[in-house]
Structure 1
Amino acid sequence: MRICIDAGHGGKDPGAVSDGVQEKNINLKIALKLSTKLIGAGYKIIMTRDDDVFVPLYERARLANKKNADVFVSIHNNAAGNSAAAGTETLYYPGSVQGEKLAGLVQKELIRKLQRADRGIKERKELVVLSSTAMPAVLVECSFLTNPVERKLLQDEGFQLLAAESIVDGIEKYFQEVG
Protein backbone atom coordinates (compact mmCIF):
# COMPACT_ATOMS: atom_id res chain seq x y z
CA MET A 1 0.00 0.00 0.00
CA ARG A 2 1.16 3.50 -0.88
CA ILE A 3 0.51 6.38 1.47
CA CYS A 4 1.04 9.98 0.35
CA ILE A 5 1.96 12.18 3.30
CA ASP A 6 1.55 15.91 2.85
CA ALA A 7 3.24 18.19 5.38
CA GLY A 8 1.03 21.24 5.00
CA HIS A 9 2.47 24.64 4.03
CA GLY A 10 6.28 25.02 3.71
CA GLY A 11 8.90 27.38 2.32
CA LYS A 12 7.45 30.85 1.75
CA ASP A 13 4.11 29.69 3.26
CA PRO A 14 4.46 29.38 7.06
CA GLY A 15 0.80 28.52 7.68
CA ALA A 16 -0.43 29.70 11.06
CA VAL A 17 2.10 31.54 13.21
CA SER A 18 1.58 31.93 16.93
CA ASP A 19 4.07 33.21 19.50
CA GLY A 20 6.86 32.72 16.94
CA VAL A 21 5.94 29.08 16.22
CA GLN A 22 5.31 28.37 12.55
CA GLU A 23 2.79 25.72 11.58
CA LYS A 24 4.87 24.51 8.60
CA ASN A 25 7.65 23.33 10.94
CA ILE A 26 5.33 21.41 13.29
CA ASN A 27 3.53 19.84 10.30
CA LEU A 28 6.83 18.65 8.84
CA LYS A 29 8.01 17.16 12.14
CA ILE A 30 4.77 15.18 12.51
CA ALA A 31 4.85 14.15 8.83
CA LEU A 32 8.42 12.84 9.10
CA LYS A 33 7.53 10.86 12.22
CA LEU A 34 4.46 9.51 10.41
CA SER A 35 6.63 8.47 7.45
CA THR A 36 9.07 6.60 9.70
CA LYS A 37 6.23 4.78 11.48
CA LEU A 38 4.47 3.81 8.23
CA ILE A 39 7.71 2.57 6.63
CA GLY A 40 8.28 0.50 9.77
CA ALA A 41 4.80 -0.98 9.34
CA GLY A 42 5.62 -1.99 5.75
CA TYR A 43 3.96 0.81 3.75
CA LYS A 44 5.45 2.58 0.73
CA ILE A 45 5.60 6.33 1.34
CA ILE A 46 5.30 9.30 -0.98
CA MET A 47 6.15 12.63 0.64
CA THR A 48 4.94 15.89 -0.94
CA ARG A 49 7.85 17.54 0.88
CA ASP A 50 10.49 16.32 3.30
CA ASP A 51 12.11 19.66 4.04
CA ASP A 52 11.19 23.35 4.21
CA VAL A 53 10.15 23.95 0.59
CA PHE A 54 7.04 25.43 -0.96
CA VAL A 55 4.98 22.96 -3.02
CA PRO A 56 1.88 24.34 -4.82
CA LEU A 57 -1.39 22.71 -3.76
CA TYR A 58 -2.27 21.24 -7.16
CA GLU A 59 1.25 19.79 -7.40
CA ARG A 60 0.68 17.95 -4.10
CA ALA A 61 -2.49 16.34 -5.47
CA ARG A 62 -0.85 15.65 -8.86
CA LEU A 63 2.04 13.84 -7.18
CA ALA A 64 -0.31 11.59 -5.19
CA ASN A 65 -2.35 10.80 -8.31
CA LYS A 66 0.72 10.18 -10.50
CA LYS A 67 2.24 7.80 -7.93
CA ASN A 68 -1.11 5.97 -7.49
CA ALA A 69 -1.28 6.49 -3.74
CA ASP A 70 -3.91 4.39 -1.97
CA VAL A 71 -4.45 7.05 0.70
CA PHE A 72 -3.55 10.75 1.04
CA VAL A 73 -2.98 12.33 4.47
CA SER A 74 -2.31 16.06 4.86
CA ILE A 75 -0.87 17.15 8.22
CA HIS A 76 -1.91 20.56 9.56
CA ASN A 77 -2.55 22.42 12.78
CA ASN A 78 -5.39 24.80 13.41
CA ALA A 79 -5.56 28.49 14.30
CA ALA A 80 -8.32 30.75 15.58
CA GLY A 81 -8.77 34.33 16.71
CA ASN A 82 -9.93 33.00 20.08
CA SER A 83 -6.96 31.50 21.94
CA ALA A 84 -9.35 29.27 23.90
CA ALA A 85 -10.23 27.32 20.73
CA ALA A 86 -8.84 23.81 21.13
CA GLY A 87 -9.06 20.27 19.90
CA THR A 88 -8.58 17.94 16.98
CA GLU A 89 -10.56 17.57 13.77
CA THR A 90 -10.19 15.64 10.55
CA LEU A 91 -11.47 16.91 7.20
CA TYR A 92 -12.56 15.00 4.10
CA TYR A 93 -14.16 15.71 0.72
CA PRO A 94 -18.00 15.74 0.68
CA GLY A 95 -19.44 12.63 -0.94
CA SER A 96 -16.24 10.58 -0.59
CA VAL A 97 -17.51 7.53 1.28
CA GLN A 98 -14.00 6.14 1.71
CA GLY A 99 -12.61 9.55 2.65
CA GLU A 100 -15.28 9.86 5.33
CA LYS A 101 -14.50 6.36 6.63
CA LEU A 102 -10.76 7.13 6.76
CA ALA A 103 -11.43 10.49 8.47
CA GLY A 104 -13.58 8.82 11.12
CA LEU A 105 -11.02 6.14 11.93
CA VAL A 106 -8.07 8.57 12.03
CA GLN A 107 -10.05 11.04 14.17
CA LYS A 108 -11.04 8.29 16.63
CA GLU A 109 -7.39 7.28 17.12
CA LEU A 110 -6.19 10.88 17.43
CA ILE A 111 -8.74 11.59 20.15
CA ARG A 112 -7.92 8.35 21.97
CA LYS A 113 -4.17 9.04 22.08
CA LEU A 114 -3.86 12.84 22.11
CA GLN A 115 -6.64 13.38 24.67
CA ARG A 116 -7.69 16.67 23.07
CA ALA A 117 -11.26 17.92 22.55
CA ASP A 118 -13.05 16.05 19.77
CA ARG A 119 -14.07 18.56 17.10
CA GLY A 120 -15.23 15.70 14.88
CA ILE A 121 -14.88 15.02 11.19
CA LYS A 122 -15.95 17.72 8.76
CA GLU A 123 -16.60 18.02 5.05
CA ARG A 124 -14.48 20.54 3.12
CA LYS A 125 -15.08 20.86 -0.62
CA GLU A 126 -12.81 23.88 -1.18
CA LEU A 127 -9.53 22.23 -0.16
CA VAL A 128 -7.45 21.29 -3.23
CA VAL A 129 -5.69 18.39 -1.52
CA LEU A 130 -9.09 16.83 -0.81
CA SER A 131 -10.92 17.76 -4.02
CA SER A 132 -8.15 17.00 -6.53
CA THR A 133 -6.84 13.70 -5.19
CA ALA A 134 -8.10 10.49 -6.82
CA MET A 135 -7.81 8.40 -3.64
CA PRO A 136 -9.42 8.66 -0.18
CA ALA A 137 -7.90 11.79 1.36
CA VAL A 138 -7.99 13.45 4.75
CA LEU A 139 -6.60 16.64 6.21
CA VAL A 140 -5.77 16.30 9.90
CA GLU A 141 -5.84 19.37 12.15
CA CYS A 142 -3.91 17.91 15.09
CA SER A 143 -4.39 20.80 17.53
CA PHE A 144 -4.55 24.59 17.75
CA LEU A 145 -1.31 26.51 17.41
CA THR A 146 -3.11 29.59 18.76
CA ASN A 147 -4.04 27.84 22.02
CA PRO A 148 -1.14 28.26 24.51
CA VAL A 149 -1.56 24.78 26.03
CA GLU A 150 -1.82 23.04 22.67
CA ARG A 151 1.01 25.12 21.16
CA LYS A 152 3.29 23.85 23.93
CA LEU A 153 2.15 20.27 23.30
CA LEU A 154 2.71 20.62 19.55
CA GLN A 155 6.35 21.56 20.18
CA ASP A 156 6.88 18.40 22.23
CA GLU A 157 8.49 15.48 20.35
CA GLY A 158 6.46 12.97 22.37
CA PHE A 159 3.17 14.63 21.43
CA GLN A 160 4.25 14.77 17.77
CA LEU A 161 5.04 11.06 17.92
CA LEU A 162 1.65 10.31 19.48
CA ALA A 163 -0.05 12.20 16.65
CA ALA A 164 1.91 10.18 14.08
CA GLU A 165 1.14 6.88 15.83
CA SER A 166 -2.56 7.78 15.99
CA ILE A 167 -2.67 8.43 12.25
CA VAL A 168 -0.88 5.11 11.57
CA ASP A 169 -3.44 3.30 13.74
CA GLY A 170 -6.31 4.97 11.88
CA ILE A 171 -4.84 4.08 8.49
CA GLU A 172 -4.29 0.47 9.52
CA LYS A 173 -7.87 0.17 10.78
CA TYR A 174 -9.06 1.67 7.49
CA PHE A 175 -7.20 -0.93 5.42
CA GLN A 176 -8.49 -3.71 7.70
CA GLU A 177 -12.07 -2.55 7.06
CA VAL A 178 -11.79 -2.03 3.29
CA GLY A 179 -9.66 -5.13 2.71
Structure 2
Amino acid sequence: TVNASSLNVRSAASTSASIVTILPRNAKVTVIKENGDWSQIKTSNGKTGWVANKYLKEGSDQPETNNPTEKITITKAANLRTQPSLSASILRVAQVGESFNKVAESNGWVQIQYSSSQTAWVSKGLTSTEAPSTPGEVTNPTSGLEKKLIVIDPGHGGHDPGAVGQDELEKNLALRTAKLVAAQVESAGGTVLFTRSDDTFISLDGRTKISNASEADAFVSIHYNAGSSSATGIETYYYSARDQELAKYIQESMVQHTNMRDRGAQQANFYVLKHNNKRSVLVELGFVSNPSEEDRIATEQYQQQVSRGIAEGISRYFAATK
Protein backbone atom coordinates (compact mmCIF):
# COMPACT_ATOMS: atom_id res chain seq x y z
CA THR A 1 0.00 0.00 0.00
CA VAL A 2 1.28 3.48 -0.88
CA ASN A 3 2.21 5.31 2.30
CA ALA A 4 2.79 8.81 0.88
CA SER A 5 0.53 11.64 -0.23
CA SER A 6 1.54 10.82 -3.82
CA LEU A 7 4.16 8.47 -5.21
CA ASN A 8 6.09 8.67 -8.48
CA VAL A 9 6.34 5.30 -10.25
CA ARG A 10 9.49 5.37 -12.37
CA SER A 11 10.75 3.41 -15.37
CA ALA A 12 13.92 2.37 -13.52
CA ALA A 13 15.25 2.26 -9.96
CA SER A 14 16.53 5.84 -10.00
CA THR A 15 15.14 9.28 -9.12
CA SER A 16 16.33 10.50 -12.53
CA ALA A 17 14.30 7.88 -14.42
CA SER A 18 11.15 8.97 -16.23
CA ILE A 19 7.81 8.86 -14.42
CA VAL A 20 5.44 6.14 -15.59
CA THR A 21 2.49 7.19 -13.43
CA ILE A 22 1.70 8.78 -10.06
CA LEU A 23 -0.18 6.88 -7.35
CA PRO A 24 -2.27 8.41 -4.55
CA ARG A 25 -2.05 7.46 -0.88
CA ASN A 26 -3.49 4.03 -0.04
CA ALA A 27 -3.26 2.76 -3.62
CA LYS A 28 -2.71 -1.01 -3.64
CA VAL A 29 0.25 -2.41 -5.59
CA THR A 30 1.89 -5.81 -6.06
CA VAL A 31 5.63 -6.02 -5.42
CA ILE A 32 7.33 -8.03 -8.19
CA LYS A 33 10.90 -7.84 -6.89
CA GLU A 34 13.22 -5.69 -4.79
CA ASN A 35 16.55 -4.10 -5.66
CA GLY A 36 18.26 -2.38 -2.72
CA ASP A 37 16.09 0.57 -1.65
CA TRP A 38 13.73 0.13 -4.62
CA SER A 39 10.85 -2.20 -5.47
CA GLN A 40 9.46 -3.06 -8.86
CA ILE A 41 5.69 -2.95 -8.59
CA LYS A 42 2.56 -3.56 -10.64
CA THR A 43 -0.39 -1.20 -10.24
CA SER A 44 -4.06 -2.15 -10.16
CA ASN A 45 -4.43 -1.16 -13.83
CA GLY A 46 -1.45 -3.28 -14.92
CA LYS A 47 1.32 -0.69 -15.19
CA THR A 48 4.76 -1.68 -13.90
CA GLY A 49 7.57 0.48 -12.61
CA TRP A 50 9.90 1.20 -9.71
CA VAL A 51 9.25 2.99 -6.40
CA ALA A 52 11.30 3.69 -3.28
CA ASN A 53 10.68 1.04 -0.60
CA LYS A 54 10.24 3.61 2.15
CA TYR A 55 6.97 4.80 0.59
CA LEU A 56 5.36 1.35 0.66
CA LYS A 57 3.90 -0.55 3.59
CA GLU A 58 2.74 -4.13 3.80
CA GLY A 59 -0.57 -5.06 5.07
CA SER A 60 -4.01 -4.12 5.73
CA ASP A 61 -6.71 -3.95 3.12
CA GLN A 62 -8.25 -1.16 5.19
CA PRO A 63 -6.99 2.23 4.02
CA GLU A 64 -5.64 4.70 6.52
CA THR A 65 -7.96 7.50 7.43
CA ASN A 66 -6.98 10.55 5.48
CA ASN A 67 -8.37 13.78 6.85
CA PRO A 68 -7.37 16.55 4.49
CA THR A 69 -7.91 19.95 6.02
CA GLU A 70 -6.95 22.14 3.07
CA LYS A 71 -9.69 23.17 0.65
CA ILE A 72 -9.06 24.14 -2.93
CA THR A 73 -11.45 26.22 -5.01
CA ILE A 74 -11.85 26.11 -8.78
CA THR A 75 -11.02 29.53 -10.24
CA LYS A 76 -11.66 28.71 -13.92
CA ALA A 77 -13.73 25.96 -15.51
CA ALA A 78 -11.46 22.91 -15.18
CA ASN A 79 -11.33 19.32 -16.38
CA LEU A 80 -11.26 16.84 -13.50
CA ARG A 81 -9.11 13.94 -14.69
CA THR A 82 -8.48 10.39 -13.51
CA GLN A 83 -4.67 10.89 -13.55
CA PRO A 84 -2.30 13.92 -13.50
CA SER A 85 -1.98 13.95 -17.27
CA LEU A 86 -3.55 15.81 -20.19
CA SER A 87 -4.16 12.45 -21.86
CA ALA A 88 -6.09 11.02 -18.89
CA SER A 89 -9.85 10.64 -19.18
CA ILE A 90 -12.09 13.45 -17.92
CA LEU A 91 -14.57 12.71 -15.14
CA ARG A 92 -16.40 16.00 -15.59
CA VAL A 93 -15.84 19.75 -15.89
CA ALA A 94 -15.76 21.59 -12.55
CA GLN A 95 -17.19 25.08 -12.53
CA VAL A 96 -15.82 28.30 -10.99
CA GLY A 97 -16.42 28.43 -7.23
CA GLU A 98 -16.65 24.66 -6.61
CA SER A 99 -14.58 23.52 -3.61
CA PHE A 100 -12.95 20.18 -2.82
CA ASN A 101 -10.75 18.67 -0.13
CA LYS A 102 -7.11 18.59 -1.25
CA VAL A 103 -5.44 15.16 -1.06
CA ALA A 104 -2.02 15.72 -2.65
CA GLU A 105 -0.03 17.80 -5.12
CA SER A 106 2.44 16.71 -7.81
CA ASN A 107 4.16 18.36 -10.79
CA GLY A 108 1.66 21.15 -11.36
CA TRP A 109 -1.41 19.04 -10.55
CA VAL A 110 -3.63 18.88 -7.45
CA GLN A 111 -5.32 15.67 -6.34
CA ILE A 112 -8.80 16.25 -4.87
CA GLN A 113 -11.40 14.12 -3.13
CA TYR A 114 -13.92 13.81 -5.94
CA SER A 115 -16.38 11.56 -4.10
CA SER A 116 -16.37 9.42 -0.97
CA SER A 117 -14.55 6.64 -2.83
CA GLN A 118 -12.74 8.40 -5.68
CA THR A 119 -10.11 11.06 -6.18
CA ALA A 120 -9.46 13.22 -9.25
CA TRP A 121 -6.70 15.47 -10.57
CA VAL A 122 -6.93 19.09 -11.69
CA SER A 123 -4.32 21.51 -13.06
CA LYS A 124 -3.01 23.60 -10.16
CA GLY A 125 -3.21 26.80 -12.22
CA LEU A 126 -7.01 26.51 -12.25
CA THR A 127 -7.30 26.36 -8.46
CA SER A 128 -6.86 28.51 -5.38
CA THR A 129 -6.59 27.72 -1.68
CA GLU A 130 -9.02 30.57 -1.00
CA ALA A 131 -12.40 31.13 -2.62
CA PRO A 132 -12.22 34.29 -4.76
CA SER A 133 -14.78 37.06 -4.27
CA THR A 134 -15.39 37.13 -8.01
CA PRO A 135 -13.84 35.15 -10.85
CA GLY A 136 -12.33 38.35 -12.22
CA GLU A 137 -10.16 38.81 -9.16
CA VAL A 138 -8.17 35.65 -9.83
CA THR A 139 -4.74 36.33 -11.32
CA ASN A 140 -2.67 33.90 -13.34
CA PRO A 141 0.81 34.60 -14.75
CA THR A 142 -0.17 32.79 -17.95
CA SER A 143 -3.57 34.43 -18.38
CA GLY A 144 -2.48 35.81 -21.78
CA LEU A 145 -2.86 32.27 -23.11
CA GLU A 146 -6.62 32.21 -22.72
CA LYS A 147 -8.31 30.98 -25.91
CA LYS A 148 -4.95 30.68 -27.69
CA LEU A 149 -4.05 27.62 -29.76
CA ILE A 150 -0.39 26.72 -29.41
CA VAL A 151 1.33 24.11 -31.59
CA ILE A 152 3.99 22.36 -29.51
CA ASP A 153 6.64 20.55 -31.52
CA PRO A 154 8.87 18.15 -29.54
CA GLY A 155 12.01 17.78 -31.66
CA HIS A 156 13.18 14.51 -33.23
CA GLY A 157 11.51 11.19 -32.23
CA GLY A 158 11.36 7.59 -33.38
CA HIS A 159 14.53 6.54 -35.19
CA ASP A 160 15.90 10.10 -34.84
CA PRO A 161 17.24 10.52 -31.27
CA GLY A 162 18.58 14.03 -31.74
CA ALA A 163 21.51 14.98 -29.49
CA VAL A 164 22.87 12.06 -27.45
CA GLY A 165 24.21 12.59 -23.93
CA GLN A 166 25.75 10.19 -21.45
CA ASP A 167 22.35 9.28 -20.03
CA GLU A 168 19.74 11.20 -22.01
CA LEU A 169 18.42 11.44 -25.55
CA GLU A 170 17.23 14.78 -26.84
CA LYS A 171 14.00 13.28 -28.22
CA ASN A 172 12.96 12.06 -24.74
CA LEU A 173 13.82 15.30 -22.95
CA ALA A 174 11.97 17.32 -25.61
CA LEU A 175 8.81 15.24 -25.24
CA ARG A 176 8.84 15.49 -21.44
CA THR A 177 9.22 19.27 -21.62
CA ALA A 178 6.54 19.56 -24.30
CA LYS A 179 3.97 17.80 -22.13
CA LEU A 180 4.75 20.08 -19.19
CA VAL A 181 4.40 23.17 -21.39
CA ALA A 182 1.06 21.78 -22.61
CA ALA A 183 -0.13 21.45 -19.02
CA GLN A 184 0.77 25.11 -18.41
CA VAL A 185 -1.06 26.25 -21.54
CA GLU A 186 -4.17 24.21 -20.76
CA SER A 187 -4.17 25.43 -17.15
CA ALA A 188 -4.29 28.98 -18.45
CA GLY A 189 -7.29 28.32 -20.68
CA GLY A 190 -5.42 27.67 -23.90
CA THR A 191 -5.43 24.71 -26.27
CA VAL A 192 -2.51 22.61 -27.44
CA LEU A 193 -1.85 20.80 -30.72
CA PHE A 194 1.14 18.44 -30.64
CA THR A 195 3.14 17.58 -33.75
CA ARG A 196 3.96 14.35 -31.87
CA SER A 197 2.80 13.17 -28.46
CA ASP A 198 4.82 9.95 -28.29
CA ASP A 199 8.09 8.50 -29.58
CA THR A 200 7.19 8.86 -33.26
CA PHE A 201 9.26 10.24 -36.13
CA ILE A 202 7.67 13.18 -37.95
CA SER A 203 9.47 14.82 -40.87
CA LEU A 204 10.30 18.54 -40.77
CA ASP A 205 7.83 19.09 -43.61
CA GLY A 206 5.19 17.10 -41.73
CA ARG A 207 5.63 19.24 -38.61
CA THR A 208 5.32 22.42 -40.61
CA LYS A 209 2.21 21.19 -42.43
CA ILE A 210 0.50 20.42 -39.11
CA SER A 211 1.10 24.01 -38.01
CA ASN A 212 0.12 25.64 -41.30
CA ALA A 213 -3.10 23.63 -41.53
CA SER A 214 -4.18 24.73 -38.06
CA GLU A 215 -5.62 27.94 -36.69
CA ALA A 216 -2.65 28.24 -34.32
CA ASP A 217 -1.65 31.47 -32.64
CA ALA A 218 1.94 30.29 -32.17
CA PHE A 219 4.29 27.39 -32.89
CA VAL A 220 7.04 26.39 -30.45
CA SER A 221 9.63 23.76 -31.39
CA ILE A 222 11.37 22.25 -28.34
CA HIS A 223 14.97 21.01 -28.50
CA TYR A 224 18.06 20.33 -26.41
CA ASN A 225 21.53 21.24 -27.61
CA ALA A 226 24.85 19.56 -28.43
CA GLY A 227 28.29 21.12 -28.63
CA SER A 228 31.50 20.95 -26.66
CA SER A 229 31.59 19.28 -23.25
CA SER A 230 31.86 22.73 -21.67
CA ALA A 231 29.06 24.45 -23.63
CA THR A 232 26.23 25.82 -21.46
CA GLY A 233 23.03 27.80 -21.63
CA ILE A 234 19.70 28.21 -23.36
CA GLU A 235 18.71 30.08 -26.50
CA THR A 236 15.69 30.87 -28.67
CA TYR A 237 15.60 31.11 -32.47
CA TYR A 238 13.27 32.88 -34.89
CA TYR A 239 13.28 33.25 -38.68
CA SER A 240 11.06 36.21 -39.45
CA ALA A 241 11.23 39.68 -37.92
CA ARG A 242 7.54 39.10 -37.13
CA ASP A 243 8.60 36.48 -34.59
CA GLN A 244 11.52 38.30 -32.97
CA GLU A 245 9.50 39.73 -30.08
CA LEU A 246 7.92 36.35 -29.28
CA ALA A 247 11.42 34.83 -29.15
CA LYS A 248 12.67 37.58 -26.84
CA TYR A 249 9.77 37.17 -24.41
CA ILE A 250 10.24 33.40 -24.22
CA GLN A 251 14.02 33.65 -23.82
CA GLU A 252 13.72 36.23 -21.05
CA SER A 253 11.13 34.21 -19.13
CA MET A 254 13.09 30.97 -19.42
CA VAL A 255 16.24 32.62 -18.07
CA GLN A 256 14.28 34.16 -15.19
CA HIS A 257 12.82 30.79 -14.18
CA THR A 258 15.97 28.68 -14.62
CA ASN A 259 18.85 31.11 -14.01
CA MET A 260 20.65 29.37 -16.88
CA ARG A 261 23.28 31.13 -18.99
CA ASP A 262 21.48 33.45 -21.43
CA ARG A 263 22.61 32.74 -25.00
CA GLY A 264 20.01 35.14 -26.34
CA ALA A 265 17.36 35.20 -29.05
CA GLN A 266 18.81 34.83 -32.56
CA GLN A 267 17.72 34.59 -36.17
CA ALA A 268 18.14 31.21 -37.90
CA ASN A 269 16.94 29.45 -41.07
CA PHE A 270 15.56 26.29 -39.46
CA TYR A 271 13.07 24.53 -41.75
CA VAL A 272 10.21 24.47 -39.24
CA LEU A 273 10.55 28.25 -38.83
CA LYS A 274 11.31 29.29 -42.41
CA HIS A 275 8.36 27.34 -43.88
CA ASN A 276 5.89 28.16 -41.10
CA ASN A 277 3.17 30.74 -41.69
CA LYS A 278 2.36 31.03 -37.97
CA ARG A 279 4.27 32.91 -35.29
CA SER A 280 7.07 30.44 -34.65
CA VAL A 281 10.16 29.95 -32.52
CA LEU A 282 12.59 27.14 -31.71
CA VAL A 283 14.07 26.81 -28.22
CA GLU A 284 17.30 25.03 -27.23
CA LEU A 285 17.03 24.22 -23.54
CA GLY A 286 20.54 23.18 -22.49
CA PHE A 287 23.46 21.01 -23.60
CA VAL A 288 23.25 17.23 -23.27
CA SER A 289 26.88 17.19 -24.45
CA ASN A 290 27.93 18.81 -21.16
CA PRO A 291 27.68 16.10 -18.44
CA SER A 292 27.01 18.49 -15.57
CA GLU A 293 24.40 20.44 -17.54
CA GLU A 294 22.84 17.17 -18.71
CA ASP A 295 22.40 16.12 -15.08
CA ARG A 296 20.55 19.34 -14.33
CA ILE A 297 18.31 19.56 -17.38
CA ALA A 298 17.10 15.99 -16.81
CA THR A 299 15.71 16.79 -13.34
CA GLU A 300 12.02 17.29 -12.66
CA GLN A 301 12.79 20.66 -11.09
CA TYR A 302 14.47 22.00 -14.22
CA GLN A 303 11.79 20.58 -16.49
CA GLN A 304 9.12 22.37 -14.46
CA GLN A 305 11.09 25.62 -14.38
CA VAL A 306 11.83 25.80 -18.09
CA SER A 307 8.31 24.76 -19.15
CA ARG A 308 6.85 27.47 -16.94
CA GLY A 309 9.22 29.96 -18.52
CA ILE A 310 8.14 28.98 -22.04
CA ALA A 311 4.44 29.26 -21.21
CA GLU A 312 4.83 32.59 -19.43
CA GLY A 313 6.94 33.96 -22.26
CA ILE A 314 4.21 33.17 -24.79
CA SER A 315 1.61 34.68 -22.47
CA ARG A 316 3.59 37.88 -21.93
CA TYR A 317 3.96 38.29 -25.68
CA PHE A 318 0.23 38.04 -26.31
CA ALA A 319 -0.56 40.33 -23.36
CA ALA A 320 1.83 42.95 -24.78
CA THR A 321 0.45 42.76 -28.31
CA LYS A 322 -3.27 42.97 -27.54
TM-score interval for Structure 1 and Structure 2 normalised by the shorter chain: over 0.9
Task: Count residues in correspondence.
Answer: 175
Distance 1:32 1:49 in 2: 10
CA RMSD for the aligned pairs? Answer: 0.8
**How far has the Cα of 1:176 moved from its partner?**
0.6
Using the aligned pairs only, state the percent identity: 38
Match of 2:9? Answer: none
Query: Which contiguous aligned blocks of 4+ residues in structure 1 show a shift greater than 2 angstroms?
Result: none
Aligned to 2:97: none
Residue from 251, 255, 259 that aligns with 1:107:
251
Cα drift, residue 174 of structure 1: 0.5
Q: Distance in 1 between matches of 2:278 and 2:219?
A: 7
* Match runs of 1:30-179 below 5 Å: 30-80=177-227, 82-93=228-239, 96-125=240-269, 127-179=270-322
> Counterpart amino acid of 1:79?
A
Asked which structure has the greater CA Rg, the reply is: 2
What is the distance in 1 between the residues matched to 2:169 and 2:319?
A: 35
1:23 corresponds to: 170
Deviations 1:81-105 (A, max 9, x none): x211000100000xx2331000000
Select the structure that is richer in strand. Answer: 2
C-alpha deviation, 1:178, in angstroms = 1.4
TM-score, normalised to structure 1, is 0.95
**Structure 2 counterpart SS, 1:17:** coil
Q: Which runs of 5+ in 2 are unaligned?
A: 1-147
- Distance in structure 1 (CA, Å) of the matches to 2:292 and 2:259: 13
Larger RCO (CA within 8 A; separation ≥ 6): 1
Higher helix share: 1
CA deviations on 1:15-52 (whole Å, 9 max, x unpaired) are 00011311000000000000111011111111000100
Paired residue secondary structure (2:286): strand
